[in-house]
Structure 1
Amino acid sequence: MKTKTAYTILVAWVISVIPLTWLGYGSDGDAWRIANTAKAISVTGQYVRSRTTGFPLFELSVTPLVNLGQWYLSNLLPFVFGIIILMALIRLVRKGEIHHPKITVFSLMFLPVVVKNATSTMDYIPALALLIWAYVSLLERKWVLAGLFIGIACGFRPTSGLFVIPVAILSYLETRKPIQAIQILLIAFISGVISYSPALLKYGMPNPYPGIQLDQQITILITGYNALRLFGIVQTLALGVCFSIIVRQVLVRKNVTPFFIFHFSNILVWISLFLLLPEEPEYLMPIIPSVIFILDRYLSKRVFVFISVLLLSYHTFQVDALGGQSGDRYIKVAFRAGLTVQDIQDRIFKLSIREAADQYVTSTKTILMYGYPEIPAANDRWVIRNIKNDMYCQRDGNLCISSRILDENRLEILHSEGFRLIVWRGEMWEYYRTGTSLPNYIEVIEDLSVFFGTPISGKALNQQ
């Protein structure tokens, strides 16, 4: 790839992507939790995890950025790591590892899920960038560096350590020396423990499973649906056809190369983990480079261009199979806005309700069981009232925001204290899924604009 072409792609990516960094911390609620955690770390001077396992290197890295410039600065950290991914791809191109440079680089950098997470205060892109550089180092036979990159990635996302499996396999296939694989494993383990140590020392071994357990049928549906959301339903089906043809050709021609083994083992590793933890499509992001590199290596240029266009179309429109509304879902095929359009709409929505809640005035003590974490996250107008229920209240008002409260005794106490308890019909899934009934003293509101008394812009993800 010529230097001019590389700069052109870089400029195009920066110009088209950076405006999204201005739209709040992201559409993922965890991005707002990270911002809230950054505030807590700043106030207490101690490490605090944002969720589940903890993601210490990312949480600590964004803390000064959140406190100095909110999302305008914190979103730039994943954005910069996106550029670091581009640098790794250019390195692979110049090493001759990529056969269709322009298509491959463009497809990966502008992939909707990459754009979404490169502009949000989330840890997926930093971890992915480090894993791609571990792959580059592996191809350059820089074993120590490959292990270090994997270990450091564990500080951003602890599951990144699984990347050592395909890396160790490839190092052995390339050298036929077990010592190289063992060296990488040891370096990745030691550096990974050090990188993850802030969370490990404070919280011990983590439990990655969510607090709300769903029945098996719902879990299977969530697993399948979230897996399809990574690339899009139609796009995933097209990829499935391509991969079945590629695998057949490789086996028929008996051309099972180390390249093929590495990337397919990487895909299998992350799919296996996803079957255990299917909460978010982004959990599958480490397979993205392998998917794109396999397409580049085995597809003709014409077919690769077609697949690339199909993958990028997920920005603007998609075929969806999700019908009903939050808490009452069923399969219904329909055309909807694409991932990026939905992401923008939801981010605008979050900023809009945040502003509306800041300005809301009521003489009645009120708890809205919606709007956490985006409303109080790193927001000085709100103070914490009950950390167990994620309840925050206006510093100078009567409105409180909380996550859904499922404990009926807790609801009874709040009701007896004179609180007006409210849930939004658009976000009642936890009550449906757990079978928890709503007491008759809880109000269900249909329209947040009516509740806040001001127009709410954008649209929540579960309403699109």
Structure 2
Amino acid sequence: MRTAKGIFSAKPKVWLVLIIIAYFISRFTLLKTGFGLDPDAWRIANSAFDLHFLGYYHPSRLPGYPLPELIDSILIPQGWVATNLATSIISLLGITFFYKILSKLRMKLKLLITISFALMPSVWINSANSMDYMWATSLLIMALYFLIDEKVCISAILLGLSSASRMSNAIFVVPFAYWILSSEGKRNEKLRKTIYFLCLTIVIACIFYIPIINEFGLKFFPHLPGKMTKILVAKNLVRTFGLLPCIAVPLALIYIVYKTIITKSSRRRILIFSIISMILVFGLFAKIPYEACYLLPIVPIILLALTTGMSRKALLIISILLIQPSIFTFRPKKIIDKGAILKNIRHREQQLDFAKRIISEASHKHSVFVIGTWLPVVTYLKKVEFLTEGEMIYFERKFPNKKFWDHEKDVWFAYLL
């Protein structure tokens, strides 16, 4: 009789194929339901559309997210299924390399931790839309893998590409530099590698930002909106990551930090790397806490730290807590409610229906419709309508993300007056 261990290790390629199939099945409905619930996903789609069909590049929003915007411009003729699928593929690569990192460092419960990462709501949802979060996170994970594998050049290129997906990921040059400097070898050689790594990362990222710098100069950072209250930030975190993970993970991290201070094991380097990364990311988030998904790049590093310093039983509990919000959530009135995935699917369907309703009701000629965050959705749908009918698309170059003109009816759709 074959043991359970033998069954799971007999044909790893078969299991790999099954996992990949399960991955895409779990994201199938999301892939075909618009570019994503976040209006920024539709802004990326508009940026890609304008570059492909009108020959003009403008960032979806400042400071720019050029790598996903440029790649989506190639895929945009096939619509949201193609751009969402591209995000899913890069996300799958990131998840695969996360497993490879855990394997390389000989971490316990590596498959379970990888599955919990893939199925937590923020990763599940953002790996099946056209947002830039998983582009930046996946490239960061790949950069970390090659850093651990001592391939500094490849790691620098990938971190540069990650920074070209989200500029904020450039802060990871600090923990990456620590990793190089804390490795074995001569001091001068380590310093040379660090300088080479920093320069190559910056050059790769800057290449992608050249069109934005050319258009806006060096003043291309956005004006930040008003301050967020602590209660609103907390609500966003719970909605994105789940209530129980928001309680359990910080407590576990406090334990990990304490363990890092008192331990002198070989894992100390990994824990210090993780702590430096967390300080930088949470510090930046404290300054701009507008979206909880800004924290997504630190999630795999937090999981790496937890895997390093916690018992198998504790890791099992945390893994279950991470996946739980995707399946069901807790609410005061209903106690148990639908999970984040089913809610996201329903809201994305409603988003498309309501945007089409706005377009159908905008029948009064010579009118202005102020539609706020619905503007990027309506703008994209109108552009596709004009393209399908062979009509000319009038492009507002100065304010591409603030208004759109339906020249047939002389109707303006505006974000704000």
Q: Return the TM-score normalized by structure 2.
A: 0.85
Query: 133-142 or 297-306, which moves further after superposition?
Result: 297-306
Residue 174 of structure 1 contacts residue 258 of structure 1 at CA under 8 Å; is this kept in 2?
no
Is the alpha carbon distance of 1:208 and 1:317 closer, same or farther for their aligned partners in structure 2, counting shifts above 3 Å?
farther
Query: 54-63 or 36-45, which moves further after superposition?
Result: 36-45
Residue 102 of structure 2 contacts residue 304 of structure 2 at CA under 8 Å; is this kept in 1?
no
Q: Which residue of structure 1 aligns with residue 47 of structure 2? A: 37
Q: Which residue of structure 1 aligns with residue 125 of structure 2? A: 116
Residue 402 of structure 2 contacts residue 415 of structure 2 at CA under 8 Å; is this kept in 1?
yes
How many residue pairs end up in the alignment?
A: 391
- Please tell me whether residue 249 in structure 1 is matched to residue 259 in structure 2: yes
1:199: Cα distance to partner? 1.7
Is the alpha carbon distance of 1:318 and 1:344 closer, same or farther for their aligned partners in structure 2, counting shifts above 3 Å?
same
CA distance in 2, matches of 1:23, 1:71: 8
Match of 2:376 among 373, 376, 380: 373
Cα RMSD (Å) of the superposition?
Answer: 2.7
Q: Which residue of structure 2 aligns with residue 78 of structure 1? A: 87
Match of 1:283 among 294, 297, 322: 294
CA distance in 2, matches of 1:156, 1:45: 21
Is the alpha carbon distance of 1:45 and 1:366 closer, same or farther for their aligned partners in structure 2, counting shifts above 3 Å?
closer
Residue 98 of structure 2 contacts residue 300 of structure 2 at CA under 8 Å; is this kept in 1?
no
Match of 2:38 among 28, 45, 67: 28
Match of 1:195 among 204, 208, 228: 208
1:33-182 alignment to 2 at 5 Å? 33-66=43-76, 68-175=77-184, 177-182=190-195
1:296: Cα distance to partner? 1.9
Residue 107 of structure 1 contacts residue 292 of structure 1 at CA under 8 Å; is this kept in 2?
no
Residue 365 of structure 2 contacts residue 409 of structure 2 at CA under 8 Å; is this kept in 1?
no
Q: Which residue of structure 1 aligns with residue 284 of structure 2? A: 273
CA distance in 2, matches of 1:208, 1:335: 42
Q: Deviations over 1:265-313 (max 9, x none)?
A: 1111111111122121121111111111122222222221221111111
User: Which of structures 1 and 2 has the larger relative contact order (alpha carbons within 8 angstroms, sep 6+)?
Assistant: 2
Larger % of helix: which? Answer: 2
Q: Which residue of structure 1 aligns with residue 23 of structure 2? A: 13
Q: Which residue of structure 2 aligns with residue 432 of structure 1? A: none
SS at 1:374's partner residue?
helix
CA distance in 2, matches of 1:257, 1:374: 48
For structure 1, the 5+ residue unaligned runs are 322-331, 406-464
Q: Return the TM-score normalized by structure 1.
A: 0.77
- Please tell me whether residue 404 in structure 1 is matched to residue 404 in structure 2: no
Residue 53 of structure 1 contacts residue 206 of structure 1 at CA under 8 Å; is this kept in 2?
no
Q: Which residue of structure 2 aligns with residue 352 of structure 1? A: 353
Give 2:164's aligned amino acid.
Answer: G
For structure 2, the 5+ residue unaligned runs are 1-8, 387-392
SS at 1:49's partner residue?
coil
Query: 346-355 or 377-386, which moves further after superposition?
Result: 377-386
Q: Percent identity?
A: 24
Is the alpha carbon distance of 1:29 and 1:257 closer, same or farther for their aligned partners in structure 2, counting shifts above 3 Å?
same
Is the alpha carbon distance of 1:13 and 1:198 closer, same or farther for their aligned partners in structure 2, counting shifts above 3 Å?
same
SS at 1:27's partner residue?
coil
Is the alpha carbon distance of 1:208 and 1:315 closer, same or farther for their aligned partners in structure 2, counting shifts above 3 Å?
farther
Residue 325 of structure 2 contacts residue 340 of structure 2 at CA under 8 Å; is this kept in 1?
yes
CA distance in 2, matches of 1:150, 1:200: 20
SS at 1:245's partner residue?
helix
